[in-house]
Amino acid sequence: MNRSKPTTFQGEALEVSQILRARREQAGMSQRVLAGRLGVTPASVCYYESGKRMPSMATLMKIKNVLEFSIRDCINIIEAISNGEQEDKDQEN
């Protein structure tokens, strides 16, 4: 596996989907290979990378381990997911 320097993300400069795709590509993995390592379908990985779906926290932890995210990167992604969920709730009210 490619052990490149961890990517740093500032605020919400990159969408979660862009972060996931960039890290997968840095690792030299196809969506199909990543899906197999995560135990999800390739379509799920495609949805995560297109922003159509967000990974569950359990899947995010698997992604963190497979793609060797730093703890800081993972926290930034969780914050971005949480902010998106809050915005959805605000729009419903």
Residue range of the domain that includes 40: 16-92
Has residue 11 been placed in a domain?
Answer: no
Has residue 8 been placed in a domain?
Answer: no
Has residue 61 been placed in a domain?
Answer: yes
Q: What is the 3-state secondary structure (H, E, C) of 5-18?
A: CCCCCCCCCCCHHH
Residues of the chain with pLDDT under 70: 1-14, 84-93
Task: Give the number of domains in the chain.
Answer: 1
Q: What is the pLDDT of residues 35-50, one digit of tens each?
A: 999 999 999 999 988 8
Which pTM value belongs to this model? 0.66
Has residue 69 been placed in a domain?
Answer: yes
Has residue 62 been placed in a domain?
Answer: yes
Could you tell me the CATH number of the domain that includes residue 41?
1.10.260.40
